[in-house]
Each structure stands twice: as structure tokens, then as C-alpha cells.
Structure 1
Amino acid sequence: MDRAPGLSVRLKLTLSYAGFLMVAGGLLLAAVWLFLLRYVPERAMLNNPDDQLNGVFPVRSALLDVFAPRAAAVFAFLLVFGLVGGWLLAGRMLAPLTRITDATHLATAGSLSHRIRLSGRQDEFRELADVFDGMLERLEAHVAEQQRFAANASHELRTPLATSKALLDVARSDPAHDHGKLVDRLYAINARAIDLTEALLVLSRADQRTFTREPVDLSLLVEEATETLLPLAEKRGVTIDTSGDPAPAFGSQALLLQMTTNLVHNSIVHNLPEQGSVWVRTDARPESVVLTVENSGEKLSPQLVSTLTEPFQRGTERIRDDHAGVGLGLAIVQRIVQVHDGSLTITPRPEGGLRIAVQLPAPPLQMAK
């Protein structure tokens, strides 16, 4: 925004300090003058044989002649003292703000690693500096995460495109090649690229928070997700056990359904080769609801579990089958939980597999009724 030039804050504070000092000095001199007027007579009778000043003498006028020049000198001193002292005092007081402004310019230029780190005891400027440092830290982490995500997404998208190009090159150089298998491979690769693109769009939509919040029963979403994924579970020999009470949450039904589907799908795919199990439970609490999804599977270390919500992480290995997903399942879940002001907890089960708990705020009382 273009603004007209104006006085600096330091100059404004200097003028304010000097003006206040002048007013205070003027009031003090006025009080002295009123005191003199009250106790000094207007005229006095002088009778001194040895002096020529005999008769009536105007005391007040003589006093005014003496007081006025000295009062003017005091005013001049107060003005100079107020301007110089106010300028120095304002500069000292605004020094932290100058450091904050310099840090803001550096951040605007792209340097997010700079920190203000104001020393001293807590006050308004130091509180502002600490908040600004925290904002820079979160912004730097967010930018780094976005850059890492963009690099991973580019890599993931480049892989199916490069594979498709290689298959097409083979088909063009060898017309006798089996085109049926080629079409099947291209179809699978294209389907995977579409899944990845749709997952990226879901993440983008969640990041924008452009959705309408409404009461949503998580138990109904669990039923819908398990019914949709039941053929996949039967194909893999996985049993799904659902239980729990109605769990009214507050948010986007589409996003929360995507979250629930991702959790159940992830639990089915990353399970035992045969006779695996998935347990889904919903619980309603006074101010929140909890969705818990557990599955059997391989034993996982806490270090590996802590990385599962990062984009394109797929557990112990990068599985490449028709239902392995694109490595964004739990990343999408975490983002959906964050934009709904909830919490996501992932812990390894001692006997193998994972336990994932999602806690979301309950609807406001007036909407829950």
C-alpha cells in the first residue's frame, strides 16, 4: 500500500515528550507567579532617609520585570532539554522496535532463519519479538515442509510418466510387442497417477480450510467406509470389527469421510498376509469424540511410526501393488485432523500393527441439540 510520507514515530515521541515538559514547566511557573501575586502587595510605602526611594513603590511590576526574563530562560531551557532528552529517550525506547522492523524486512526478502531474540525482562516489545520469532520458526518449518512435499510429489508424478514413456518407446520400436499387456500396464500406471493427483487435490482443499462445518456422526462414516472397503478386505483375508456409540463431530462430512476411509484402507493394506484383523471403534466424550483404528501386522519401531504421517511414507517398504496407495494416506489424515482442530496419535501395538486414535471437538451445544 502506498502511503504519503509522514513524521517518524521517534520524532512524534520527541515532540510529545518536549511538549509535555513545556506544559509541566509552564504550570509550575504559573503556580509560582500566582503564589507571588497572593503574598506580594501591589505597592509598598518606602521611607528611608538615606535613600532616594521614598514614597509609594510598585512592587509587583518590579517583580514582573525580574521574573519574566528568567521565566523565558527557563522555558527555553525546558524546550532544548525536552527535545534533546526526548530524542535520546525515544531512540532508546524504540530500539527493540527497530530490530523487529529489520527482522521483518529480512523475512520479506526471504530470510526466514533470522531470529530477533530480544534480551531483558518481559514487556510489550519483548512479547512482540517472541511472538514474531515463533511465527518465523513455524513459517520456516512450513516452507521447508512444502518444499520437501513438492520435491516428493514431483518425484512420485515423474515415476509413472517416465514408465509410460518407456513402455510407449518399446511399443514404437517393436510393433510385434504384445499390445494387450502394454495397455494393461499403461492403464495401471495411469490409474496410479490419477490417484496421486486426487490425493494432492484433497490435501490442497484441506489446507485452504474452505469447507462448511456441520455436525457429522463418525459412527455413520465408519459404516460407510467399511462397507465400501469390504471387498478389498475380503480379497486380502482381513476381517473388520466395528463397535462404539454414535460420535457426533463438527466439520466437513466429505473430508471426515476421506479421513475415515484412508484410516480403514491403510489398516487393510498394511496388515498380515492372511487372517489379518482391523478394529474400528468410536467413543463420545463430554467435549470431544474419538475414532480409534487398530490393525494387526508386522512389528514397527517407534522411530518408523513417527515418520508415517510424512508424505509418501509407506511403512517398512514402498509397496507397489494395485491397492498400495500413493503414500499420502496418513498425511491426508493428519492434515484433515489439523484443520478440524483435532489431534492424531499413532502408536505401535506390542503384538504388531498400529493403533491410530483421532480426537475431534464435539459440536457446539446449540448445534448438537
Structure 2
Amino acid sequence: MNRARGLSVRLKLTLSYAGFLMVAGALLLGAVWVFLLRYVPDRAMLYVPDGSGLNGVFPVRSTLLHVFLPRAAAVAGFLLVFGLLGGWLLAGRMLGPLVRITAATRMSASGSLSHRINLEGRSDEFRELADSFDAMLARLEAHVGEQRRFAANASHELRTPLATTQALLEVARKDPDGPTGELVERLHTVNTRAIELTEALLLLSRSGQRSFTPERVDLSLVAEEATETLLPLAEKRGVTVRTSGDMTPVGGSPALLLQLTTNLLHNAIVHNLLEDGTVQIDTAVRPGFVVLTVENTGDKLTPQLVSTLTEPFQRGAERLRNDHGGVGLGLAIVRSITRAHDGILNLTARPDGGLRVTVQLPG
């Protein structure tokens, strides 16, 4: 935005300090006049005992005014100079942190998000502003880095099915007498995966926009609905799913919370033991918030691997891709929905193997 150039804040503060000092000096001199000079008589008899002939009536108040006014003007001039000089120095010292904040803002506007103000000293308004700005820069830097990684990974994931489809079509074009049934089946599989990936990307994008009206939702009922939906998959893979918990009211989007719970349960079923695997879903009410916990058996996971599981398309060596492995966005969508509900997502590796996921939402 183009604005007309005005007075600097430092100059405004300097003039304000000097003006206040001048007003205070004028009030002080006025008080001297009101409470002292007003009691001095206009004239007084002067008597000199040595007989020099200087006896008589002399004007006292006018004489004092003649002496007082020039000195008052000198004091006022001194206060003006002192106020301007002192105000300029004081304003510069007070606005020093603001200069650093402005410089950091300009650097961040140019694309440098790694710079931090790191304003030293005890807490005050300027330091609170600087600390808030540093925290905002840190979040922006992490968000921008996450978006860049997401764009690169999404491009890679979308390119894979498209390249596979193109290769299959090239083979079919060169061999028109080849088996069309197998080709159609493979193309259908590839196309299905591309559609699932696109839908997951759209859901991930929309879940973070908070474009929903909060409603009262019982997480325990949501957990039961997700369990009923995925029970055939759990039985097919030999995984036992158990749910527990009382009524767990929370405000949010029913559709998104169901998607969150379904993704967690699907992830727990798919990435489980090959035989006799278990999944435990618990809902609980705590003072001020509610908790949804999904815990599953499985291979042992390292803390380094767990810390990357919520990144889009990030899969560790232990997390195999198969016919039910999804598109690699399940936990990323869970994190996005949790943030949209002002919640906290925690992932912890179980000592005996598997993963424990805890979603904490405001009650």
C-alpha cells in the first residue's frame, strides 16, 4: 500500500515529550506567580536611615515582574531544548526493539523465514511482540517446508499411476492381439488407486480449512461406527478389534471425526501382526478435554520412524504397501482434522511392538 510520507514515530514522541515538558514548566511558573507574586503589594515604602534622600514609595510588583519574566523565558527556552534533545534520545532508546522487529518483518517478507529477532531482556510489550513474531516465523517456516515436501511427494505419487497407465497403453498399442482382459484389470487397479489418491488429497486440503459448523458428537458412537465399517477387513486379516469407553461428547464435524477415527482404525488393522493381531479403541473424558486412543500390536517401531508417520506419503521400511495399504495420507489427514478441531495428536511406539495414537480434543 502506497502512503504519503509522514512524521516518524520517533519525531512524534520527541515533540510529545518536549511539549509535555513545556506544559509542565508553564504550570510550574504559573503556580509560582499565583501563589507567591500575587501576595506582593503593588507599591511599598522604602526608607533608608542614612538620610540619603532615597525615602519614598516604589513599585514592587512591576519591579519583580521585570526581573521574573526574562528569567522565566530563559527557563522555558532551556526546557524546550532539554525536552527536544532528551525526548529524541529517549524515543530512540524506546523504539530500538521496534526497529529490529521491522527489519525482521522485511526479511520475512522477502522470503527469509529462518531469521529470528531473539530480543533479549525482561518481558515487556515489545519483547512479547518479538517473541510472538518469532513463534509465528517458526510456524510459517515449518508449514512452508511441510507444503514443499507435500507438493514434491504428491507429484511423485500422482506421477506413478499415470506413468504405469501410459506404459500399459503403449504395450497394448504395440500388441493389439494381446490379452485385453488382464490389461483392463490392471488399468482398473491403477485408475482406482489414482482416484483414491486424488480424493485423499482433496480431503486433506479441505480438512484443514475449518469450513464446518461444530456439532455435538459422541466419540464413543463414532468409534463404534468405524469399527462396524472396518470389521470385515479386520476379520479378513485376523485382527481382533475391541472398543471401550463411556459417552464422550465433543464439539466438531461428525463427518471429519468419523474420517479421523476410520483412518486410525484402518491404519491399526493394516499395519498389524500377520496373525493374532489386536486393536484397542478407547474413549475417555478428562477435565476440559476428551481423549480418543487407538492402540495396535505390530512390529517394533523406532522413535525416528514414528516421528515421520504423519508426514504425507512417508512410509518406513516396516510399513509395507499392499492391497489395503492406502495411499500414504491416512495419518496426515488425521493430523489435519485434529488441528482443525484445535486438538493434539500424539504417536508413541509401544515397547512390545505396534503403535499407540492419542487424539486429545477440547471437551
What is the TM-score with the length of structure 1 in the denominator? 0.91
Label 1:230 to 1:35 Cα distance change in 2 as closer, same or farther (>3 A): closer
Q: Give the match for residue 96 of structure 1.
A: 97
Deviates more, 1:291-300 or 1:247-256: 291-300
Is the Cα–Cα contact under 8 Å of residues 299 and 318 in structure 2 kept in the other structure?
no
Offset, 1:43 = 0.9
Label 1:118 to 1:255 Cα distance change in 2 as closer, same or farther (>3 A): same
Offset, 1:251 = 0.8
Offset, 1:325 = 0.5
Deviates more, 1:269-278 or 1:49-58: 49-58
Q: Give the match for residue 60 of structure 2.
A: 59
Offset, 1:151 = 1.2
Superposed CA offset, 1:42-90 (max 9, x none): 1122344665644211111122112212211221221122112211211
Q: Counterpart of 1:150 in 2: which secondary structure? A: helix
Deviates more, 1:278-287 or 1:184-193: 278-287
Q: Give the match for residue 273 of structure 1.
A: 274
Superposed CA offset, 1:296-334 (max 9, x none): 222222332222122212343463332110111111112
For 1:140-159, list aligned pairs within 5 A: 140-159=141-160
Offset, 1:286 = 4.4
For 1:25-64, list aligned pairs within 5 A: 25-48=25-48, 51=52, 53-64=54-65
Q: Give the match for residue 81 of structure 2.
A: 80
Deviates more, 1:280-289 or 1:129-138: 280-289
Partner amino acid for 2:43? R
Q: Counterpart of 1:201 in 2: which secondary structure? A: helix
CA–CA distance in structure 1, aligned partners of residues 93 and 52 of structure 2:
59
Partner amino acid for 1:283? A
Q: Counterpart of 1:282 in 2: which secondary structure? A: strand
CA–CA distance in structure 2, aligned partners of residues 281 and 120 of structure 1:
46
Partner amino acid for 2:42? E
CA–CA distance in structure 2, aligned partners of residues 91 and 288 of structure 1:
47
Superposed CA offset, 1:66-119 (max 9, x none): 221221122122112211221121111111111111111111111111111122
Q: Give the match for residue 13 of structure 1.
A: 13
What is the TM-score with the length of structure 2 in the denominator? 0.93
CA–CA distance in structure 1, aligned partners of residues 222 and 111 of structure 2:
43
Partner amino acid for 1:92? R
Is the Cα–Cα contact under 8 Å of residues 239 and 269 in structure 2 kept in the other structure?
yes
Superposed CA offset, 1:26-51 (max 9, x none): 12222223344245321122344665
CA–CA distance in structure 2, aligned partners of residues 120 and 195 of structure 1:
53
Q: Give the match for residue 245 of structure 1.
A: 246
> Identical aligned pairs, as a percentage?
73
Q: Give the match for residue 23 of structure 1.
A: 23
Unaligned runs of 5+ in 2: none
Q: Counterpart of 1:311 in 2: which secondary structure? A: coil
Is the Cα–Cα contact under 8 Å of residues 271 and 319 in structure 2 kept in the other structure?
no
Unaligned runs of 5+ in 1: 363-369
Is the Cα–Cα contact under 8 Å of residues 208 and 339 in structure 2 kept in the other structure?
no
Label 1:47 to 1:287 Cα distance change in 2 as closer, same or farther (>3 A): closer
Offset, 1:3 = 4.1
Partner amino acid for 2:356? R
CA–CA distance in structure 1, aligned partners of residues 319 and 353 of structure 2:
19
Partner amino acid for 1:244? G
For the aligned residue pairs, the C-alpha RMSD in angstroms reads: 2.0
Is the Cα–Cα contact under 8 Å of residues 207 and 336 in structure 2 kept in the other structure?
yes
Partner amino acid for 1:91? G
Q: Give the match for residue 367 of structure 1.
A: none
